[in-house]
Amino acid sequence: MILDLQLNDRYVDLVNEGTELAIRIGKLEDSSLRARPLGGYDRVFVASKDYLAKRGVPQTPDDLLDHDCIIYTLLSSGATWRFRDVDIPITGRLRVNSPDAVSAAATAGLGVAHGPAWLFEAGLNSGRLQFILTNHVAPPVPVQMVYVANRLLPTRAIVFMDFMAEVFSQIPALNGSTPVPTR
């Protein structure tokens, strides 16, 4: 038995690429897929202390309209950040296709960022980044394993899916227990 594991941060077309399983983050739009929930996480909003000293601290989601936001180009909602009560179209001078680049750019003072708390842990723990908009929560983001609904899954895929579900169940940040980094 061969396992061909491909790790990348791009949208994989399971139907046309012949891929058996994929992990998807966010709300599923494609009805030809079935999903097995693996967990979910909360998103946070951060910026560097240097950036906030120069540009001010946003107090409401609407304040982001006057800030440079670091745009993660693979975000399913595009250049729109979702809050519980409102969606805000954001703009910025930097667009990146890597979550690590989002974190690095925020830490370097290039703008406001959002994502899972664990993505910003190093910057938060060092004190270079700080949480903002903490009174304006974003909806939780689901994480799931997806597969084509009308395709018979081989045993290896089912075993792998079971394994991943067990692994993900052990990660507190994906199961309603977002650890907040401390300094």
SS3 44: strand
* Alpha-carbon gap, residue 167 to 173, rounded angstroms: 12
- Asked if 146 contacts 14 with a C-beta cutoff of 8 angstroms, the reply is yes
Report pLDDT digits (tens) over 40-58: 888 899 999 999 999 999 9
Q: Is the pLDDT reported for residue 107 higher than 70? A: yes
Q: What is the pLDDT of residues 168-178, one digit of tens each?
A: 888 887 776 55
pLDDT tens for each residue of 135-176:
998 888 899 999 988 888 888 889 999 999 999 888 887 776
Pair 14, 148: CB distance under 8 Å: yes
Note the pLDDT of residue 2: 66
DSSP string covering 105-169: HHHTTS-BEEEEGGGGHHHHHHTSEEEE-TTSPPPPEEEEEEEETTSPPPHHHHHHHHHHHHHHH
Tell me the average pLDDT of the chain. 87
- pLDDT bin (cut points 50, 70, 90) of residue 130 is very high
Q: Which two tokens stand for residue 166?
A: 């067990």
Q: Can you tell me whether residue 174 is helix, strand or coil?
A: helix
Rounded CA-CA distance 133/135 in Å is: 5
